[in-house]
Every structure is written in structure tokens, then in C-alpha cells.
Amino acid sequence: MAEQTNQKLQLRLLQRLLSDKQPLSQCARALQAVLRFDPQVRSVWYFNWQASADIYSPEGDVRGWPPGPSDLLTATDQQLFSALQHNARLTIAQVHAIDCWLSHRIKRAGISYGVVVSLPLQTDQEGLLVIELQQGVELYALDSLLLVLSAYLGSVANERPPAELLSTDPQPALWVNHHAEFVEVNNAAVDRFGTQIAENTQLALPHNHQQLVRSSLNQQRVIEDFDDQFAEQVLLWSYIPCIQQQRVLVRGRVVTEQAKQLQEAAQASRLYRLITENTTDLISRHTPDGRFINASPASWNLLGYWPEQLRGMRSQALLHAQDVVLVEQRAKNALAEDGYHTMTARVRHRDGHYLWFETASRAIRETYTGAIVEIISVSRDITERVQAEENRRRLAEVVEVNTDLVLFVDSNGLIRWMNPSAQRYLQVADAQTSRQLADLVSAATFNELNTKGWQAADEQGVWSCETRFQPYAGAASFPVSLVLLAHKVAGGERYYSLVARNMAERELREAQQRKHQEELAHTARLITLGELTSGIAHEMNQPLAAVINYASASLRYLQTVDGQSPSLQRVAQGLERITEHANHAAEVIKRLRAFLRKEPRRVQALNIAEVLQETVQLCAWEANSARIEIEQQLIPELPLVYADRVLLEQVLLNVLRNAIEANRDRYQEQAEPSRILIRAEQHAEQVFIKVHDQGAGVNAAQLEQLFTPFYTSKTDGLGLGLSMSRSIIEGFGGSLEAEKGELGGLCLICRLPVRTA
């Protein structure tokens, strides 16, 4: 019974499609459905004749139909078309015997038993049916059915059924009689409920379908919006009565999305109420001028106000005085332009203290004018976060400007970050560049760090040691006091920081302090030696005076003797030489005492030649013992200079002794004597005294530091001689300089101004 009903509904649908001039594909699909309800039919295919291409083209339900076996441009069904013009019915075997494109496709589809019938669905449009019959069914079993069907289609093609059931209606619709039996369905119902229209439609209709049909007819009114579900789809059904024909148009409307949206909206509304009532954030509604319309219960915990107390209050009244103008203007502009704004501001609690709030606001606009009618805001207390960020910012600034080296490392020895001081000392351009700690410290320190450092930092929080850092660019290493600190984040993960203090200055101060102590001890020894030398000189004056007196007396005695013999003359000559050498020794001791004597500076006119002669005589013995020849080239009649004689001798003696030591260090193992050249000449208003030696000389770097206090290239030197000598000469208005000498060594140049008074 259900199969007959379905076939009847499909036939009525085919009639309506043909009368409404619907596309051939829809008509062919309905015709296929009508024939497939016959139990003698295995499969049905409909083909439309394409006169321009001379082929039959499939229409309707073509799922599973195979493509053609050859090139479409060369395919033709002209022989089959001509055969059907003479005989409207052919068997499949007869079609197989015809060499045409459709015949090959029927073979590829595996159809071997059935009939091919010429059956046009539309006027002036030839077509054919390929019907595959069940095995055992007579080939002529469907002839009467096809004949009746052809006549029926021809008679109903021009018939106009009632217009209430439109084949073009996208929503499912059907006619039922007063017994609620199905009379006709539209194409949308077939598409939605499939070929089993009767069964599926009955499931999709409301459970009281029969009562609704009777009520609609008896009461002569439309019954609307009865919902039911089918295959996860929600449909709303309306019953529209036709009193004259005593039948009802049942029209459905798919509202699955609308129902889903309504359900989601109801669920969202319930969820919104739950969130609003239980969230710790403040959710509030405001008028465009900022007044509270409503607020969530969190307002009591956050602000000390109940929602009822906030209604009508301006939100600007809760802002800090320094924030209200700027925040209000920015929020107004952002909401007007973008409809959304997020701000951070200080909000006053009811108790009077201020909290930091982060507020996200969204504007609700009027649909047609676009004017803002309401503002929804969500506010969160971020006071702790702001304070933590401020503390981190301050700490970061301290780390950035700290003069100590700060490095972030991991337990594998990988440096993650370093502060500017570390970048400068380690000669690294990029603070984020990952580098290995093993390249920075010695192997012993890195091994100690791996064996003790990490574990001690994890257990005690800190570990320290003294080591040296080697800059990555290859510069000289420097000492540091190293502290390893262990830190722990919220998740329990550890990270480490290295804080290193550059101890190079302390090391330099300690070295300078030791050097100063040694120099002070040496100076004390020199003072003692000077005092001792002064005493020795004083003691030597007594016997020297006696020697001179006795030698002079003996010489006068010999001169009184008459008739001197050659022997007496030799004795007289010896006495004269004794007197001469004794006087010379006395003069040397006198000059030493004058050099060592502490006296106030006495500036006087000095002859440079005489001062040079006396200075050379003071160190003549030292030069002779080192096999050094001192050559003097003095221009005649040098002008007088004004200086303290003793201080000038001290400077020249220091310069000359430096030249002797330079020659001696270089030529001490050579048999040939070395030279020292002293030149004195005048240039403009200055007298130049140049002392050239044949020593090893100095390089450019040493030349710049030659007059620096405590700088010396000698193992036993103080480094104060040349510095003090320059100070003395500058006190006379001159200068003391150094340059490369003519003899291959160093040349020290003493310049003194010429003065008339």
C-alpha cells in the first residue's frame, strides 16, 4: 500500500513539474522514481536527444552511469535515433547490435536484459528510456504500463493543477484529503524526504496530524506553527484548508537554525546570568554619559558598593582626579569610532583608597541611526599586577644601570641575557645573543661551577668565588668577584643569574700600593745613603785637608834646598800631583755635599757649558768603567740661562746616567766602547741640550708613558727620575721631551729659555 502511495505521489509530482514547465532534469528524475516503484524494474535511465551533437545525453538521476568509451567529438547515436523513429520499442539485445555511442555505454553499465523505449517528456524534445528488467520478467511486461504512461503524460502536459502547491517552492508542501491521506507533494518534499515519501513524511508531520487536518476543515481556519523533528531537522508545519475541494495544504518550514539559535540564546542567557552572578570581575551597563544602569554583585567585593547603590551614579565620580579627564576623552573617542575601548585607570573604593582597574567597554548602537544607546563594561582589579610590574620595572632599571656585570644563565652554561655593563666589559654587541659560559671563564672555574656551584645555589640560593673573565673579542682578562644566584618561578622552574664585580681597579690599587711601599722603602734607603754619604764626605775632608797641607809643606821645603838633583825633582813632581789630586777629590766631595744639601731654590745666571762640564765630571768614573765615551758638541758663546744650579745639575745628571745605563745594558758584552753625544745649541730664544745614547730605545707606547710617575722599564727603577726632572725644568720655564736619537737609541731634549735678566 505504501509503495502504491509513493508511486502515486511521484506521478502527481511528475504531472505538476511538466505543467509548470520545470527543467528536464527534474522531470526525468520524477519519471525514474515512478518506474522504480515497479518490482519488475531493476534500473531506469532517461536520455535526452542532442540534435546538435547527434548523441543521447543522460538526464535526471545519473549517479553510477559510466562515461563514454571514446572521444566525445567523434561519438554519434544517429543510427539508434533512426531505428527508434521506425520502432519506438527496442530490446537491449537489439541496441547492442547497433554500433553507436549509447550502445557502448549500456554495455559498460552492465545492462544486458531490458528494453529501450522512445518517450519524449517535453514537446519537440525527443528522449528515450533505458529500462533494465529483472531476470525472468517478460520483455513485454511493461508495454501496457508504458503505453498508459505515455498517454497520461501527453494528456496532463497541458493541464493546470491548483496553484497552491508550487513545484518551485523551496519548502516542503503536500496536499491531503479530509481523511489526512496524501494526495500530492511538491519537489522540495521529495528532495527532503526521499523516495519513501509516505513513510518519511508521516514521521516528519506532527503526531496529531489527522486531528489538525479535521480541525482545519471543520473550523475553516489556518492552523500554524506546529513543530516536529525529522533527521535532526526541525520543521514548523502550517495547515491551510481548501473548503471547496475538502482538502488541506500542509506546508512545512525548516527552522533548524532558528531553533538552534533560540536554544543557544536561552542557554547563553542562563550562562550569562550565572557568570554575572558568580564572576569576580565587575560587569556593568552604562548610559552614554557614563551613569550606571546595572552592575554585577562583584561590585561589593571590588568597590564596596552594592549594585543598587551604583545605579544612577556617574562612573567618572569613581576615577582618580588625575585620570578622569584623559580617560573620559579617550573612551568617548574610541567608543564613537571603533565601538570598543580598553583602559587602565585608578578607581576609588568606598573606603577611600584607590585600586588599579582594567576596563574593557563595548558600545551598543541603535540599529538604524547608529547612535550609542548603552555601554557594556567588564572591569578587573589589577592592583597587584600593576604593583608587581612596577617592582619589576624598578628592578630592571637597577639591573640595567648597575655597574656590575649581570648575566642570566641556565644550568647548561648558556648565557641568555646580559646587562649593558656586561656587554661593555665582555665586548658583546647584542644582549640577546646566546653564548657559552665556558668561553668566559677558565676551565678550572667552569669545572668548579659544575661540581659545586649549581648544587650550592639550588640548596642555599647563592654561591660565590673569585675568578677571571675572558672577553669574547680576545681582549685581556680581568679579575671578578663572582656570585651565582638561583631563582624560582611560579611553576617551580629554576633560572640563574651571575653577578660579577670587576676587581681590576682593586687589583691595580693593591699592586700600586705594594709598589709604593717598595718605593718608599727604597727612598728611605736613599735618604739614609744620602745622610751617610754626607757624613762620609765630611769625614773625608779632614784627611784630605791634612794630605794637602803635608804635600804643600813638603813641596815648599824641597824648594828651599839648593842644587836639586833629578831625584828631588821627581819627588817635587809627585808632591805636586798629590796636591792636585787631593784638591780634585776635595772639590768632588764639596760638589756632592752641595748636591745633597737641602737648600732653598737659588736662581742665578748659569753658563750651560760649565754646568755640563761639572755634570760630566760627576759621572766620568761610571762612564769609564762601562767603556763609554762621552762626546760634547757645544757651540761657542752660548747665552746664559737662569736656573738653580744644583737642581739643573740634578736634571742633567739624571739624564746622563739614564744614557749611561742604556748603553751599558746594550754593549756590556762588547769589547768596543759605546758613545754618548751631548749637544748644546741655541734656537731663537731657547737653549737646547740634547743627550743621544746608543741604547735599545723605546717604542711608541713606551714613549708616551716615559714621563709618567712610577713608570719605568728598569727592574730596579723607581719611575720618578724623568717625571721629577720634567717638573724641575718646567719650573724654570722650559721643557723636557724625548724622541728617537741620532745614534739609534733615545734622545732626551732639555729646553731652557734665554733671559736677559
Q: How far is the C-alpha of 628 from the C-alpha of 636, rounded, in Å? A: 25
- State yes or no: pLDDT of 711 exceeds 70: no
Are 445 and 357 members of one domain?
A: no
Are 31 and 146 members of one domain?
A: yes
Percent of the chain with pLDDT over 90: 15
Identify the domain boundary among 441, 469, 502: 502
pLDDT at 59: 92
Top-ranked range on mean pLDDT: pick from 222-231, 513-522, 699-708: 222-231
pLDDT at 117: 92
Class of residue 280 by CB neighbours under 10 A (exposed 0-12, middle 13-18, buried 19+): exposed
pLDDT at 540: 74
Q: How far is the C-alpha of 699 from the C-alpha of 187, rounded, in Å? A: 108
CB under 8 Å to 7, separation ≥6 — which residues?
34, 37, 38
Identify the domain boundary among 106, 129, 156: 156
Are 406 and 382 members of one domain?
A: no
pLDDT at 71: 67
Are 127 and 16 members of one domain?
A: yes
pLDDT at 531: 62
Q: What are phi and psi of 92, to 5 degrees?
A: -60, -35
Give domain status of residue 468, yes or no.
yes
Are 64 and 136 members of one domain?
A: yes
- State yes or no: pLDDT of 158 exceeds 70: no
Residue found by looking up cell 538552534 in the block: 260
Give domain status of residue 592, yes or no.
no
Are 511 and 489 members of one domain?
A: no
The arithmetic mean of pLDDT across residues 443-469, rounded, is: 88
- State yes or no: pLDDT of 455 exceeds 80: yes
Name the band, by pLDDT with cuts 50, 70 and 90, for residue 714.
Answer: low
What CATH number did the domain enclosing 325 receive?
3.30.450.20
Are 544 and 528 members of one domain?
A: yes
Least confident of 50-54, 224-228, 283-287: 224-228
What CATH number did the domain enclosing 745 receive?
3.30.565.10
Question: Do residues 418 and 428 lie in contact, with contact meaning Cβ atoms separated by under 8 Å?
Answer: yes
pLDDT at 716: 57
pLDDT at 81: 92
Are 619 and 674 members of one domain?
A: yes
Are 611 and 748 members of one domain?
A: yes
Residue, of 155 and 353, whose pLDDT is higher: 353
Q: How far is the C-alpha of 105 from the C-alpha of 57, rounded, in Å? A: 11
The arithmetic mean of pLDDT across residues 44-51, rounded, is: 92
Give domain status of residue 395, yes or no.
no
Are 239 and 225 members of one domain?
A: yes
- State yes or no: pLDDT of 604 exceeds 80: yes
pLDDT at 145: 81
The arithmetic mean of pLDDT across residues 705-725, rounded, is: 68
pLDDT at 193: 82
Give domain status of residue 55, yes or no.
yes
Percent of the chain with pLDDT over 70: 89
Strand 686-692, strand 674-683: pairing: antiparallel
Give domain status of residue 560, yes or no.
yes
pLDDT at 636: 79
pLDDT digits (tens, 9 = 90+) for 333-359: 888 888 889 999 999 999 999 999 999
The arithmetic mean of pLDDT across residues 692-707, rounded, is: 80
Residue, of 515 and 113, whose pLDDT is higher: 113
Are 481 and 515 members of one domain?
A: no
pLDDT at 287: 93
Question: Of 161, 247, 251, 131, nearest to 201 (Cα)?
Answer: 251
pLDDT digits (tens, 9 = 90+) for 474-487: 788 888 888 998 88
Identify the domain boundary among 387, 418, 434: 387
pLDDT digits (tens, 9 = 90+) for 360-396: 999 999 888 888 999 999 999 999 988 888 888 888 7
Residue, of 513 and 252, whose pLDDT is higher: 252
CA angle 360, 364, 369 (to 5 degrees): 145
Rounded to the nearest integer, the mean pLDDT of the chain is 83
For residue 632, give its domain range.
602-753
CB under 8 Å to 731, separation ≥6 — which residues?
none
Residue, of 692 and 571, whose pLDDT is higher: 692
Are 355 and 416 members of one domain?
A: no
Give domain status of residue 165, yes or no.
no
Residue, of 646 and 139, whose pLDDT is higher: 139
Question: Do residues 30 and 50 lie in contact, with contact meaning Cβ atoms separated by under 8 Å?
Answer: no
- State yes or no: pLDDT of 124 exceeds 60: yes
Give domain status of residue 120, yes or no.
yes
The arithmetic mean of pLDDT across residues 288-301, rounded, is: 91
Name the band, by pLDDT with cuts 50, 70 and 90, for residue 470.
Answer: confident
The arithmetic mean of pLDDT across residues 511-526, rounded, is: 68
Q: The whole model's pTM is what?
A: 0.38
Least confident of 143-147, 208-212, 366-370, 523-527: 523-527
Domains: count for the chain = 6
Give domain status of residue 625, yes or no.
yes
List the alpha helices (DSSP H) in 279-370.
298-303, 307-310, 321-337
pLDDT digits (tens, 9 = 90+) for 296-334: 999 999 999 999 999 999 998 899 988 888 888 888 888
Least confident of 100-104, 129-133, 438-442, 471-475: 471-475
The arithmetic mean of pLDDT across residues 284-294, rounded, is: 92
What CATH number did the domain enclosing 91 receive?
3.30.450
pLDDT at 44: 93
